[in-house]
Amino acid sequence: MKKIGIINSELSALISQLGHADTIVIADSGLPIPPGVRRIDLALKQGVPGYLETLETILVEMQVERYTIADEMKERNPDMFAKTERTLAGAQMECMTHEQFKLLTRQAKAVIRTGEYSAYSNVILHAGVTF
């Protein structure tokens, strides 16, 4: 049995398979997941697990060089925007419209659906390298 880190087998496998610049999405419960993109559904009930809790857990094992958020997160959910920015300090931030964001999710290796119920609590993580 694994001693530390992510114990969800799908998440653990996903992260171990990422290459440089591959992307994954951490999504609130309302973000549409494009057909053909792998869905890892963690949502149990409203708020469980939360977006930030999921992001923080993934960052224990994933090297992130940049991240993408929707402009609407800054405007309509400034508290979550500030927490996301603090959590991903050191990684380069990119912003785009929510419509552009949804198009970019089509290229993701997976979308991880959380139980988050606050608007625009979504991020695309771009894998970095550790060397």
Give catalytic residues, as residue numbers: 20
> Does the annotation flag 98 for ligand binding?
yes
> Does the annotation flag 117 for ligand binding?
no
Q: What is the distance between the alpha carbons of residues 72 and 70, in angstroms, rounded to a whole number?
A: 5
Q: How far is CA 33 from each of CA 20, 21, 37, 91, 119, rounded to the nearest angstrom? A: 23, 20, 7, 25, 16
> Does the annotation flag 8 for ligand binding?
no
> Does the annotation flag 16 for ligand binding?
no
Binding residues: 28, 98, 120-122
Binding residues for substrate: 28, 98, 120-122
